[in-house]
Amino acid sequence: MDIKAITRDKLGGDSRKQLIGGSAAGLVAVLVVLLLVLTTCGSGSSSADGPDGEGDRGAAAEGPSDAVVSLAPKNGADEVATTGALKVTAEQGRLTEVTVKDGKGRTVKGRYGKRRTEWRPATHLATGTKYEVDAVAKDAKGREAAKHGSFTTFVPKDTFVGYFTPENGDKVGAGMPVSIKFNRPIARREAVEKAITVRADPGVEVEGHWFGDRRLDFRPRAYWKSGTKVTVDLNLSGVEGSNGIYGRQRKTVQFTVGRQQVSVVDAKKKTMKVYRDGKRIKTLPISAGSPATPTYNGKMVISEKFPVTRMNGETVGFGGEYDIKDVPHAMRLSTSGTFIHGNYWTPKSAFGAVNASHGCVGLSDQRGGADRTTAGSWFFRNSLVGDVVEVRNSQDETIKADNGLNGWNMSWAKWTAPQ
């Protein structure tokens, strides 16, 4: 059959006769071919129409973006302030991505404004540091605009640092606070405290408390749980602690709580009961401070351990009343000189019977500390820095919270009260 003839004379009689007289299969074939020809010749639609018939939408999304990204400070700027200077904005669009990194690849966290037309850092920047900034924004039609820049923060003339305890990697007792002592007075304490974060696993609320203008301690409401892992981030570089004096530390410290051990000294009964994770594991006879020089009451944290140390009364206000050069198994409980330690110069029968010390808690021991069977040796070997020794029923006052690592003597309400 001649397709050209059908197309040319599709209304003619001869063609109709051929179609009518042909086979059904031939008719179908002709109609299919005719449909293809007519479709190819055009149906009135534009090839630019999208599947939804909206015309030139695809073409409109091409071309430059209307969005304009701006960076502050300007690219290449030096001596940039560590707070208030960094800002990324977008006009005629919304920010979709902002990345700020220092020279070590550490990312600066930030916050977008409500309409994502602005981004600012969530914290201060470090001093003497070069930062790279990359930002992307999209306009209403989805077209992207990008901007890159870099700047360097200023180097301060005066700086401060914080000396912290415990040390990185330490295994400590459940009463151990995070204690930071600064080498310069801190006037802007809120800014400095905000730059230090203390996180615990398992999680627990941790709050800071200032003792004067040079010491900041952190602790939870109750003693740490056994096995707790604590991470301390000192993000002090770039923080203005006092007028013109900036921090210069950027450090992370981690330590682990070994177990929860609390030893309760009853000065009246002259005994000490040792509890580990709530279970009593030992009862030891002790000798506390005499009536003339009683032991402090209160919760005291072991801050140092010495297998052997010298104790001289002149260093703690007792003149020449004693000077013992080889005190065994000594553990510090206060800055002012309170220890729990081994005692070889007092008869063993006095422990549990007489309070005769100058304020320390004494345990029966042998000179040199080599005898592992003594009470002093056992307690030393079974104690960690950070363990708690709680003294009750003494005739003295409760120890001050800042006399050693003894913030547990403050209520949680007082610890967290505004300062």
Active site residues: 341, 360
Per DSSP, the three-state class of 33 is: helix
- Provide the token pair at 90: 């977008």
Helix (H) or strand (E) holding 241: strand 240-242
| Length of the chain measured in residues | 419
Tokens of 407: 């913030």
Interatomic CA distance for residues 104 and 40, integer angstroms = 63
CA 240 from chain centre, in angstroms, equals 20
- Backbone phi, psi, residue 205, to 5°: -70, 130
Alpha carbons within 13 angstroms on the beta-carbon side of residue 99 total: 8
> In a 3-state reduction of DSSP, which class is residue 191?
helix
Contacts of 161 (CB under 8 A, 6+ apart): 182, 183, 236, 247, 248, 249
Q: How far is CA 123 from CA 6, 108, 134, in A?
A: 81, 8, 18
